[in-house]
Amino acid sequence: MVKYLNPIGSESKMSAISPSGASSIYLVLRYFPLAFSGVILSYVHSDISKWEQKGTYTIFVFIGIIAVYSLHKYYKLNIQPSKDRNSRMIFGLISCSSAFLAFLLFFNLFSDYKVIGVLSFVLLITFWYVYPLFGIILRQIKFLKGILVALVWTIIVVWIPFHHTNFSPSLPFVMGFFFYVLALTIPFDIRDVYHDGPERFTIPQFIGISRSKVLSVFLMFLGLGLVCLTTHFKPSSVVLSMSILLVYAFLLYLQKEDTKRIYYTFFDCMLLANAGLIFFTV
């Protein structure tokens, strides 16, 4: 049975982890490994598809990731009882400035109405994920949180680079990446399980932490297996996939309730492992 911490009050962990103005810069920098992973993944897929705009697009992805995660952090600071206005101001400014730069690159990159429509859908999800629309917040719908994250990442770093060329990835390849990212969302749900209220019915809150770790390893195995399938089980892809799976399982095994937040950078960097697998084997 999961015990939820009181999100309000001086003794709650939620308030304890609220960033000060000084630590806000650290939290922004902490998004860089994730943004860098997005850049490498976008570049690898763009290189496979021979997209000429891959350089500009990777910059767009980097700035977009910083904008999105800063926006979500800004929202969290607004709903938490925090007296630190500097933190909200820092994340608000970073989010707005990054979004502005991303929009400038957007109009330079895309003219295809289908891509514009898909990216508009992604933008809608980004806002609706934390801000209420029709009285609904998407991340509070049971089990939808991880699926949305995996869907958006798959669209941004896989679908868009391939859409601009005649090189179409197979369905197992796309689904393999989707399951890979979905697996990576579970450790963060485990981290937040003691802070999320019971109304946010994430997978760890429903089946428990131990079973969630098993499910996460299975999803990772499924994602890597589908990538191996697209390479016709080339020996190099199988060896690399098994190595990634073992490292991931070990990271999950070491994850505890009091694991420091910096530890989760390793899970962010698991996206780089996927990029390496695709680069060297596909």
* Mean pLDDT across the chain: 84
Residue bearing the bigger pLDDT, 95 or 89 = 95
How far is 246 from 238, CA to CA, in rounded Å?
A: 12
pTM for the full predicted model = 0.86
B/e letters for 10-46, b = 16+ CB within 10 Å, e = fewer, are eebebbeebbeeeebeebbebbebbbbbbbbbbbbbb
What share of the chain in percent tops pLDDT 90?
Answer: 47
Residue 278 CB neighbour total at 10 angstroms: 24
Structure tokens at 198: 């019971």
At 87, the pLDDT band (50, 70, 90 cuts) reads confident
pLDDT of residue 5: 41
How far is 212 from 137, CA to CA, in rounded Å?
A: 23
At 142, the pLDDT band (50, 70, 90 cuts) reads confident
Residues 6 or more apart in contact with residue 58 via CB below 8 angstroms? 39, 42, 43, 46
DSSP result, 144-208: HHHHHHHHHHHIIIIIHHHHTSS-PPPHHHHHHHHHHHHHHHHHHHHHHTTTS-TTS--HHHHH-
| pLDDT tens digits for range 2-12 | 444 433 333 33
pLDDT of residue 111: 85
- pLDDT above 90: residue 213: yes
Contact 223, 178 (CB under 8 A): yes
How far is 185 from 79, CA to CA, in rounded Å?
A: 23
- pLDDT above 70: residue 218: yes
pLDDT of residue 222: 97
pLDDT of residue 16: 40
- pLDDT above 70: residue 21: no
Q: Is 133 helix (H, G, I), strand (E, B) or coil?
A: strand
- Choose the most confident range, by mean pLDDT, from 9-18, 93-102, 213-222, 247-256: 213-222
Residue 47 CB neighbour total at 10 angstroms: 13
Instruction: Measure CA 136 to chain center.
Output: 21
Residue bearing the bigger pLDDT, 76 or 179 = 179
| pLDDT tens digits for range 165-179 | 777 788 999 999 999
Which range has the worst mean pLDDT, 56-65, 74-83, 227-236? 74-83
Residues 6 or more apart in contact with residue 250 via CB below 8 angstroms? none
| pLDDT tens digits for range 253-271 | 988 877 777 778 888 889 9
pLDDT of residue 261: 72
| pLDDT tens digits for range 113-133 | 888 999 999 999 999 988 888
SS (H, E, C) 25-93: HHHHHHCHHHHHHHHHHHHHHHHHHCCCCHHHHHHHHHHHHHHHHHHHHHHHHHHCCCCCHHHHHHHHH
At 242, the pLDDT band (50, 70, 90 cuts) reads very high
- pLDDT above 90: residue 192: no
- pLDDT above 70: residue 195: no
